[in-house]
Structure 1
Amino acid sequence: MQAEGSVSRRDMLKTFVAGAAIAAPALANAEIDYANLPYLGGSDKIDVNNANIRVYTKLPGMYPSIAGIIAKNGPYQTVEDIYKLPKLSAEQKEIVKKYEKNLVALEPAPEYQEDIFNNGLYR
Protein backbone atom coordinates (compact mmCIF):
# COMPACT_ATOMS: atom_id res chain seq x y z
CA MET A 1 0.00 0.00 0.00
CA GLN A 2 1.33 3.41 -0.97
CA ALA A 3 1.31 6.47 1.19
CA GLU A 4 -0.86 9.30 -0.04
CA GLY A 5 1.01 11.59 -2.44
CA SER A 6 3.83 9.12 -3.13
CA VAL A 7 4.81 7.99 -6.61
CA SER A 8 4.99 4.32 -7.52
CA ARG A 9 8.09 2.79 -9.09
CA ARG A 10 6.03 1.99 -12.16
CA ASP A 11 5.05 5.64 -12.62
CA MET A 12 8.65 6.74 -12.14
CA LEU A 13 9.81 4.22 -14.74
CA LYS A 14 7.19 5.45 -17.22
CA THR A 15 8.41 9.02 -16.72
CA PHE A 16 12.05 7.98 -17.18
CA VAL A 17 11.31 6.01 -20.36
CA ALA A 18 9.30 8.90 -21.81
CA GLY A 19 12.14 11.32 -21.04
CA ALA A 20 14.69 9.00 -22.61
CA ALA A 21 12.58 8.70 -25.76
CA ILE A 22 12.48 12.48 -26.07
CA ALA A 23 16.23 12.82 -25.49
CA ALA A 24 17.24 10.03 -27.90
CA PRO A 25 17.08 12.15 -31.10
CA ALA A 26 19.24 14.83 -29.49
CA LEU A 27 21.80 12.24 -28.41
CA ALA A 28 21.88 10.81 -31.92
CA ASN A 29 23.03 14.21 -33.18
CA ALA A 30 25.72 14.61 -30.51
CA GLU A 31 29.29 15.09 -31.70
CA ILE A 32 31.10 11.87 -30.83
CA ASP A 33 34.62 12.96 -31.75
CA TYR A 34 36.08 16.41 -32.21
CA ALA A 35 36.68 16.58 -35.97
CA ASN A 36 39.96 18.46 -35.53
CA LEU A 37 41.36 16.05 -32.94
CA PRO A 38 44.52 15.28 -34.97
CA TYR A 39 45.54 18.96 -34.69
CA LEU A 40 45.68 18.68 -30.90
CA GLY A 41 48.84 16.60 -31.04
CA GLY A 42 48.13 13.57 -33.17
CA SER A 43 49.56 14.87 -36.44
CA ASP A 44 52.40 17.02 -37.73
CA LYS A 45 50.05 20.05 -37.62
CA ILE A 46 49.23 21.96 -34.42
CA ASP A 47 46.08 24.04 -33.96
CA VAL A 48 47.24 27.31 -32.36
CA ASN A 49 43.73 28.00 -31.02
CA ASN A 50 42.99 24.69 -29.30
CA ALA A 51 46.16 22.67 -28.73
CA ASN A 52 47.62 22.35 -25.26
CA ILE A 53 51.01 24.03 -24.84
CA ARG A 54 52.60 20.63 -24.18
CA VAL A 55 52.03 19.68 -27.86
CA TYR A 56 54.64 22.26 -28.88
CA THR A 57 57.39 20.08 -27.42
CA LYS A 58 57.31 18.36 -30.83
CA LEU A 59 58.79 21.54 -32.31
CA PRO A 60 62.24 22.28 -30.80
CA GLY A 61 62.51 25.83 -29.50
CA MET A 62 58.76 26.41 -29.23
CA TYR A 63 58.14 25.03 -25.74
CA PRO A 64 57.68 26.51 -23.16
CA SER A 65 58.20 30.22 -23.90
CA ILE A 66 56.78 30.63 -27.39
CA ALA A 67 54.05 28.05 -26.76
CA GLY A 68 52.99 29.94 -23.63
CA ILE A 69 52.82 33.25 -25.48
CA ILE A 70 50.80 31.70 -28.30
CA ALA A 71 48.35 30.00 -25.91
CA LYS A 72 47.94 33.08 -23.73
CA ASN A 73 47.24 35.54 -26.54
CA GLY A 74 44.87 33.56 -28.78
CA PRO A 75 42.55 32.96 -30.44
CA TYR A 76 43.91 33.78 -33.87
CA GLN A 77 42.14 34.22 -37.19
CA THR A 78 45.26 33.07 -39.05
CA VAL A 79 48.70 31.74 -38.13
CA GLU A 80 50.17 35.02 -39.42
CA ASP A 81 48.44 36.84 -36.52
CA ILE A 82 51.09 35.32 -34.23
CA TYR A 83 53.74 37.58 -35.78
CA LYS A 84 51.80 40.63 -34.54
CA LEU A 85 52.34 39.67 -30.90
CA PRO A 86 54.54 42.32 -29.26
CA LYS A 87 55.79 39.82 -26.65
CA LEU A 88 57.59 37.73 -29.29
CA SER A 89 61.19 38.73 -29.93
CA ALA A 90 62.63 38.74 -33.45
CA GLU A 91 64.44 35.50 -32.63
CA GLN A 92 61.22 33.87 -31.42
CA LYS A 93 59.40 35.01 -34.56
CA GLU A 94 62.10 33.28 -36.62
CA ILE A 95 61.48 30.04 -34.73
CA VAL A 96 57.73 30.37 -35.37
CA LYS A 97 58.48 31.04 -39.05
CA LYS A 98 60.54 27.84 -39.18
CA TYR A 99 57.47 25.82 -38.11
CA GLU A 100 54.76 27.89 -39.79
CA LYS A 101 53.85 25.00 -42.12
CA ASN A 102 53.11 22.92 -39.00
CA LEU A 103 50.63 25.42 -37.56
CA VAL A 104 46.94 25.95 -38.32
CA ALA A 105 44.40 28.36 -36.82
CA LEU A 106 41.08 26.54 -36.49
CA GLU A 107 37.88 27.73 -34.82
CA PRO A 108 38.34 27.84 -31.01
CA ALA A 109 36.46 24.99 -29.29
CA PRO A 110 35.32 25.84 -25.74
CA GLU A 111 35.93 22.31 -24.48
CA TYR A 112 39.65 22.64 -25.23
CA GLN A 113 40.16 26.20 -23.96
CA GLU A 114 39.95 25.17 -20.33
CA ASP A 115 43.06 22.98 -20.49
CA ILE A 116 45.12 24.93 -23.02
CA PHE A 117 47.68 25.87 -20.33
CA ASN A 118 47.67 22.56 -18.48
CA ASN A 119 50.97 21.03 -19.51
CA GLY A 120 50.19 17.63 -18.01
CA LEU A 121 52.92 17.87 -15.39
CA TYR A 122 51.48 17.53 -11.90
CA ARG A 123 53.59 17.99 -8.79
Structure 2
Amino acid sequence: MKRLVAWLMSGVLLVGLLVGLAMAPTAQAAELRNSADDKIAERGDKVDLNNSSVRRFQAFPGMYPTLAGKIVLGGPYVIVDDVLSLDLTDRQRELFNKYKDNFTVTPAEIALNEGFDRINDGQYR
Protein backbone atom coordinates (compact mmCIF):
# COMPACT_ATOMS: atom_id res chain seq x y z
CA MET A 1 0.00 0.00 0.00
CA LYS A 2 2.85 2.40 0.83
CA ARG A 3 4.43 1.65 -2.51
CA LEU A 4 1.14 2.40 -4.35
CA VAL A 5 0.75 5.74 -2.55
CA ALA A 6 4.38 6.61 -3.34
CA TRP A 7 3.83 5.82 -7.04
CA LEU A 8 0.64 7.88 -7.15
CA MET A 9 2.30 10.85 -5.43
CA SER A 10 5.25 10.62 -7.83
CA GLY A 11 2.84 10.63 -10.76
CA VAL A 12 0.93 13.65 -9.47
CA LEU A 13 4.18 15.48 -8.80
CA LEU A 14 5.50 14.69 -12.29
CA VAL A 15 2.29 15.83 -14.01
CA GLY A 16 2.25 19.04 -11.97
CA LEU A 17 5.87 19.72 -12.87
CA LEU A 18 5.26 19.15 -16.58
CA VAL A 19 2.18 21.37 -16.62
CA GLY A 20 4.07 24.08 -14.74
CA LEU A 21 6.98 23.96 -17.19
CA ALA A 22 4.69 24.03 -20.21
CA MET A 23 2.88 27.18 -19.03
CA ALA A 24 5.84 29.07 -17.58
CA PRO A 25 7.57 30.33 -20.75
CA THR A 26 4.51 32.11 -22.13
CA ALA A 27 3.78 33.83 -18.84
CA GLN A 28 7.42 34.88 -18.44
CA ALA A 29 7.71 36.11 -22.02
CA ALA A 30 4.82 38.52 -21.53
CA GLU A 31 6.39 39.90 -18.36
CA LEU A 32 9.85 40.33 -19.95
CA ARG A 33 8.67 42.46 -22.89
CA ASN A 34 10.08 46.00 -22.77
CA SER A 35 10.19 49.15 -24.87
CA ALA A 36 13.10 47.84 -26.96
CA ASP A 37 11.04 44.77 -27.94
CA ASP A 38 8.17 47.03 -28.95
CA LYS A 39 10.50 49.22 -31.01
CA ILE A 40 11.97 46.21 -32.81
CA ALA A 41 8.48 44.91 -33.56
CA GLU A 42 7.45 48.36 -34.83
CA ARG A 43 10.24 48.57 -37.41
CA GLY A 44 9.62 45.06 -38.75
CA ASP A 45 12.18 43.99 -41.34
CA LYS A 46 13.30 47.53 -42.05
CA VAL A 47 16.43 49.22 -40.71
CA ASP A 48 15.52 51.96 -38.24
CA LEU A 49 17.87 54.85 -38.99
CA ASN A 50 17.61 56.27 -35.45
CA ASN A 51 17.99 53.00 -33.55
CA SER A 52 20.29 50.71 -35.53
CA SER A 53 24.01 50.18 -35.49
CA VAL A 54 26.15 50.10 -38.62
CA ARG A 55 26.02 46.29 -38.58
CA ARG A 56 22.41 46.38 -39.79
CA PHE A 57 23.58 47.98 -43.06
CA GLN A 58 25.70 44.96 -44.04
CA ALA A 59 22.70 43.55 -45.90
CA PHE A 60 22.99 46.38 -48.44
CA PRO A 61 26.10 46.06 -50.64
CA GLY A 62 28.17 49.23 -50.79
CA MET A 63 26.67 50.89 -47.72
CA TYR A 64 28.79 49.26 -45.03
CA PRO A 65 30.90 50.66 -43.34
CA THR A 66 31.47 54.16 -44.78
CA LEU A 67 27.96 55.25 -45.75
CA ALA A 68 26.46 53.37 -42.81
CA GLY A 69 28.76 55.28 -40.45
CA LYS A 70 27.73 58.61 -41.95
CA ILE A 71 24.05 57.73 -41.61
CA VAL A 72 24.36 56.52 -38.02
CA LEU A 73 26.36 59.56 -36.92
CA GLY A 74 24.18 62.03 -38.86
CA GLY A 75 20.94 61.33 -36.99
CA PRO A 76 18.47 61.69 -35.46
CA TYR A 77 16.14 61.81 -38.43
CA VAL A 78 12.49 62.80 -38.70
CA ILE A 79 11.92 61.19 -42.11
CA VAL A 80 14.02 58.80 -44.20
CA ASP A 81 14.81 61.49 -46.78
CA ASP A 82 16.63 63.54 -44.10
CA VAL A 83 19.67 61.37 -44.87
CA LEU A 84 19.99 63.16 -48.21
CA SER A 85 20.84 66.39 -46.36
CA LEU A 86 24.12 64.81 -45.20
CA ASP A 87 27.41 65.44 -46.99
CA LEU A 88 27.20 62.48 -49.39
CA THR A 89 28.97 61.77 -52.65
CA ASP A 90 26.91 61.15 -55.78
CA ARG A 91 27.60 57.41 -55.49
CA GLN A 92 26.46 57.38 -51.85
CA ARG A 93 23.25 59.22 -52.77
CA GLU A 94 22.66 56.69 -55.53
CA LEU A 95 23.18 53.78 -53.12
CA PHE A 96 20.91 55.29 -50.51
CA ASN A 97 18.14 55.92 -53.04
CA LYS A 98 18.52 52.34 -54.31
CA TYR A 99 17.81 50.89 -50.84
CA LYS A 100 15.60 53.69 -49.44
CA ASP A 101 12.51 51.46 -49.20
CA ASN A 102 14.36 49.24 -46.71
CA PHE A 103 14.64 52.00 -44.11
CA THR A 104 12.29 53.53 -41.59
CA VAL A 105 12.52 56.20 -38.90
CA THR A 106 11.14 55.96 -35.38
CA PRO A 107 11.99 58.10 -32.34
CA ALA A 108 15.34 57.21 -30.78
CA GLU A 109 15.07 54.68 -27.94
CA ILE A 110 17.79 54.74 -25.27
CA ALA A 111 17.52 50.97 -24.81
CA LEU A 112 18.63 50.48 -28.42
CA ASN A 113 21.36 53.12 -28.26
CA GLU A 114 22.93 52.07 -24.95
CA GLY A 115 26.27 53.74 -24.51
CA PHE A 116 25.60 55.79 -27.63
CA ASP A 117 28.12 53.67 -29.55
CA ARG A 118 26.28 52.64 -32.68
CA ILE A 119 29.50 52.37 -34.70
CA ASN A 120 31.05 49.62 -32.59
CA ASP A 121 28.21 48.00 -30.66
CA GLY A 122 30.23 44.98 -29.55
CA GLN A 123 28.58 42.51 -31.93
CA TYR A 124 31.20 40.37 -33.58
CA ARG A 125 30.96 37.33 -35.78
TM range (shorter): 0.5 to 0.7
Look up the match of 2:39. 36
Identity of aligned residues (%): 31
Please state how far the C-alpha of 1:116 moved relative to its aligned partner: 1.5
Look up the match of 1:66. 67
Look up the match of 1:54. 55
Aligned residue identity for 2:109: A
Look up the match of 2:110. 110
Aligned residue identity for 2:51: N
Looking at structure 1, the residues matched to 68 and 91 of structure 2 have their Cα atoms a distance apart, in angstroms, of 14
Superposition map of 1:90-109 within 5 A: 90-109=90-109
Please state how far the C-alpha of 1:38 moved relative to its aligned partner: 4.8
Task: Answer yes or no: is the 8 Å Cα contact 1:48–1:105 preserved in 2.
Answer: yes
Looking at structure 1, the residues matched to 110 and 49 of structure 2 have their Cα atoms a distance apart, in angstroms, of 14
Please state how far the C-alpha of 1:121 moved relative to its aligned partner: 3.8
Task: Answer yes or no: is the 8 Å Cα contact 1:39–1:47 preserved in 2.
Answer: no
Larger displacement relative to structure 2 (76-85 or 108-117): 108-117
Q: Secondary structure at the match of 1:99?
A: helix
Q: Secondary structure at the match of 1:92?
A: helix
Please state how far the C-alpha of 1:36 moved relative to its aligned partner: 2.3
Aligned positions, number: 91
TM-score, length basis structure 1: 0.64
Task: Answer yes or no: is the 8 Å Cα contact 1:53–1:71 preserved in 2.
Answer: yes
Question: What are the Cα deviations for residues 3-45 of structure 1, in whole angstroms up to 9, with x where unaligned?
Answer: xxxxxxxxxxxxxxxxxxxxxxxxx7x73652121577x72x1
Task: Answer yes or no: is the 8 Å Cα contact 1:53–1:67 preserved in 2.
Answer: yes
Task: Answer yes or no: is the 8 Å Cα contact 1:75–1:108 preserved in 2.
Answer: yes
Looking at structure 2, the residues matched to 39 and 65 of structure 1 have their Cα atoms a distance apart, in angstroms, of 27
TM-score, length basis structure 2: 0.63
Unaligned 5+ segments in structure 2 are 1-30
Query: Which structure has the highest helix share of the two?
Result: 2
Q: Secondary structure at the match of 1:66?
A: helix
